[in-house]
Amino acid sequence: MILKGKTIKKGKVEGEAIVSQMPFSFLGDLDVTTGKVVGSGHDLEGESIANKIFVFLTGKGSTAAPDWAYKAKRLGNAPKGMICQEVEPTLAMVAITHDIPMVHKLDQNPLEVIKTGDYIKMDATEGIVEVIKKGES
C-alpha cells in the first residue's frame, strides 16, 4: 500500500511501525534514557519508540520538547522517522532540527491503515510512505 503526504523533514528511512492513537510530547511522554513511553495513561505506555517509525495523532507542545528529543537522539532512543495526522509547530521543530524524516496529512488516515508491527518504507523527501503489512513480504 502506498500513501502520499506532505513533507515536514526530508529523508529516507525504513523500519517497523509503532502506532499510537494519542498526541505525543518528547517532554513528559518519553523516557529519553530508554526510548520507552512513560506518559501515564498513554496507549503506548511501556513500549519503546526507539529506532522505529513512530505513527501518531499529533504533537502536544512544550517548547522544551526539542531539548528532550535531542537527548533521546543522542542516546540512540529517538524514532527513525515520524508520521502523524497533522503536525504542530513544536513537533515540526523536533523533526527538522534533529534530522528525523517526517510526513503528515497523508491521503489516508495513517492511524487506520498502519498497525504496530507493519514494515514502513518512507521517502519523506517525496512524501511517500509504503506500508508492508505484518506477515506480508
Burial class for 51, CB neighbours closer than 10 Å (0-12, 13-18, 19+)? middle
Q: Give one word for 12, left, alpha or beta, with left for phi > 0 and alpha for psi -120 to 50.
A: beta
Quote the Cα angle for 31-36-42, to 5°: 95
Asked whether 37 and 47 are in contact (CB, 8 A), the reply is yes
Identify the active-site residue in 20, 48, 62, 137. 62
Kindly state the cell numbers that stand for 43.
496507549
62 has catalytic annotation:
yes
Q: Which residues are catalytic?
A: 62
